[in-house]
Amino acid sequence: MKTLIQTLLVLVVSAWLAQPIFGAEQDPVKLAPNIYKAILDNHKVRVIDVRLKPGQKTPTHEHPDYIIYALSGGKARFWDEKGQASTMTIRAGQCIFKEDETHTVQNIGKTTIHVLNIELKGFRLF
């Protein structure tokens, strides 16, 4: 029983310590600082100011569970990690919850899309 508890403790601590490492190479703020700017970052949330000009496309990146709040909307195309595309029209004032994901985004509209991404930090084993 003691070995099982120790093993579980090692797994939990390892997963918690590894969380910031996994995906660090897919952090949108590091990959595209001309598009993404972290304006708040603490142990609970990270708020990212996102400005995507018409025709501009992001590199592939990932987010934990997050909320999108649109300051000014537009039309965007999203590609998931499997290459599946979807299109979304975002309206100013709209608030959208999205589960953790890896994607690429392109502004396919005629106006700059300006949103705040509010990433929720937390520990998940599964």
Percent of the chain surpassing pLDDT 70: 78
pLDDT tens-place string over residues 92-125: 999 999 999 999 999 999 999 999 999 999 765 5
**Both structure tokens of 15:** 């997963």
10 pLDDT band (50/70/90 cuts)? very low
| Total domains in the fold of the chain | 1
Question: What pLDDT does residue 9 have?
Answer: 45
Does 79 map to a domain? yes
CATH number at residue 11: 2.60.120.10
